[in-house]
Each structure stands twice: as structure tokens, then as C-alpha cells.
Amino acid sequence: MTDWFQLAYDKEQEMVQTRRYLHQHPELSFQETKTHAYILQRLQQLNFEIDEKVGRNGIIARITGDESGPTIALRADFDALPIEDLKEVPYRSQVPGVMHACGHDGHTTILLTVAELLHAHQSQLKGTVVLIFQYGEEVMPGGAQEMIADNALMGVDKIYGNHLWSGYPTGTIHTRPGPMMAQPDEFNIIIHGKGGHGAKPHETIDPIVILAEFILSAQKIVSRTLDPVKQAVISFGKIEAGEADNVIPDTASCRGTVRTFETEVQAHIYHKMDLLLQGLALANDITYTFDYIKGYLPVYNHEASANVVKNAAHALNFRYQESDLMMVGEDFSFYLKSRPGAFFLTGCGNAQKGTDWPHHSPHFDIDEDAMKYAVSTFMKILELEGIFKD
């Protein structure tokens, strides 16, 4: 049997160079023109059938063996975030205010390395491997739905995806059957009151006080109206009101997120939030605007595919542990809605190397040693799915 870990280890220095180049040249979601060109240039050196404009800016690369077999897709994302890179490293971002703060540079590097290994072992292939390089994962509506609508999954039997994860130690593999990551909804609320002088609050309808009452009351939706065995989060991330210390403004607004795993829980929270606003409007003679934007679907792994990931990790003698339920969101969920498959996490956290910062931190980094674990896990998954000849 092929020693995929050794082959990935042999490519480690090349992977580091690729990842650091991508880290230095990040591009925001839906603006990834140079990254797209770089990926395309790398793939064109290999024996793949390439579709270079799937959705807006996605790339699909297919490689087929000389015998019939399954069609398995693997996916990586390549967009960055609007965050200033504060790391003191030679490969820090060269683009002000933009950085790879979630590991997508590593994901792209991993899939490019998988492409090279598949090219080198094409004579051993049966069936087809489809590599999906996706743009725009970080910003809704995301790139996944657009690529699926543009036939990214045409002919695909199963799909697998990987995410480097700083919360787990380097060299570990994590997944779980069923729900794994939540649905990340967003909301925007504006309280329309009546402004006036701060010295005469009785002549106003203070939207700040009413918004504060809503925020405090909303905390009870999860803790006091939801079955305790259900998982949900309501968090407020932005509050805006007023411009002067002695003026009560006409409006006050807030933005936040709701995270759930079940449609019924999502609907319950939305209904309770709206009821709270209706009550406040009636009691305080105000109006309000309530925009609720449903986010990506929850990531829901198919049990058989999650077991393939688990078996791949064990076959490679990697440390495997079932993933925690996570309140983060991922648009890989749309692929799993369309095809069987699984999403797994590869640990890249190493405190000694300073790579245990949380995702989306301006200090975020990955332990580059982790990439070879992801590459070899992908290759072993393909082997277990029958992509290679016996």
C-alpha cells in the first residue's frame, strides 16, 4: 500500500513555500483574482481537466483513471478576511487590512499538493477525483451555492472537505457523524424612537433605553424558553446610537448573530425576538425594523463518510478524536446537502509555535506541520473510497 504520509512529508518544504506565498498575498471574498490565477497556473502544469470559471470565480479540476470507479470530490476555499495581520513573521500579509486569518491559504496548499500526488499516481487511479477550489466562503451568500448551481457536483458520488483548526493540537484529526457546525444567522435591529435634549427625557422616546431592554430580555430566550438539551447562541456584536453626550437620538441599532443546529430552534428564536420587539413597541409607542438573514445550513456529516474519515486517520496511525459540536458556520454544508460526504478538522494548534490563537484573530497562524496530515488523510480517504486500484 502507498505510504501517503511519507509522500506528503516529502513535499513539506514545497507546501510551506506555497502557503507562505498565499499568506503574503491574501484577497477578500469575491475579489480573489490573483489567487485564482495562481491556482490555475499550478493546475495547468498537471494532467487535469480544468474548468476555470465555475460560479463567479471557482476552479474545478478533474482527473480520471483508466478503469471505471467512483467519483469523489475534495474541496478547499481560498478567500481571506478584512483583518490587519499583526504577526511578526517574515511571511506576514503584504496587503494592508487583509490577511488569511482562518487557514484558507493552508487549505489551498493542501489541495494543490493532493493534485500533484494524484497526477503522479494517475496510472493507479480508477474512477475520477474532482478538486473544488472555492472562492468566497467567508461572506454570505458564499461561493458554495453558486458553484453547485454551476454544476460543480455534476457526476460526483461523495464529497469531503477539511479545515485546519487551531483549537486542536497538530497531528490530530477530528470529525463526527451528524451535526458538526451550526447555522450562522445574522440580524439587524433598529429602534425608531423620538429624540430630544438629554435634559428633557420626558419629551422623548429614548431608543437607547428600549434597545438595552431588548438586549437584556433576549438573553432569556435561550436560557429560559429553550429546552436545555438544545444548542443555541444569541450574541450581539455591534450597537450604535447617538452622536452627542447630551442628545437623545431618534434611533438606536444593533447587529448580532444567532447560531442553531435545528430549523425548529431557529424558528423559535426568531419568533421570540420578534415578540419581544412587538411588546416593546406597544409599551413604548415606538416602531422598529427587524432584518433577519438566514445563514449557511448547519454542517451535517453523513455517518458512513464520517466513518471513512475516522478509518483513514486510524489507518495512518494519527490521533483521532470525535469533534466537538461547534457554533461556527461553514458553507461546505451546501455540498453535504447535495451529496453524501463529511467535513473534518486537522489540528494545527501548537502553543510553542504560537499557532494556538483563535481563528479570525489578527495573530492567527497555523503550524505548517499540520498540512501533511491533511494531505495524507485526503489521500487515504480516496483510497478507502476505492479510487485506487488494488
Task: List binding-site positions for Mn(2+).
Answer: 102, 104, 138, 163, 360
Annotated catalytic residue, options 77, 79, 146, 356 = 79
d(CA 306, CA 176) in angstroms, rounded, equals: 6
Whether 79 is catalytic: yes
Annotated binding site: 102, 104, 138, 163, 360
Type of residue numbered 276: L
Angle at 377 between CA 117 and CA 76, to 5 degrees: 75
The DSSP string of 350-376 is -GGGT--SPTT-TT----TTHHHHHHH
Alpha helices in the chain (DSSP H): 4-10, 12-24, 33-43, 104-120, 143-149, 207-225, 263-284, 303-315, 333-338, 370-384
CA-nearest of 154, 138, 153 to 101 is: 138
Annotated catalytic residue, options 137, 206, 368, 385 = 137
Angle at 102 between CA 96 and CA 104, to 5 degrees: 90
**CB-based contact 57:32 (threshold 8 Å):** yes
Sign for the CA dihedral angle at 275, 279, 281, 282 comes to: positive
CA-nearest of 154, 66, 158, 73 to 111 is: 73
Q: Which helix (H) or strand (E) holds 292?
A: strand 287-293
Type of residue numbered 223: S
Measured CA to CA in angstroms, residue 113 lies from 4, 35, 234, 380 at distances of 12, 16, 39, 14
Measured CA to CA in angstroms, residue 379 lies from 51, 103, 171, 312, 372 at distances of 22, 20, 16, 9, 11
* Cell representation of residue 237: 456584536
Whether 116 is catalytic: no
Query: Which residue numbers are catalytic?
Result: 79, 137
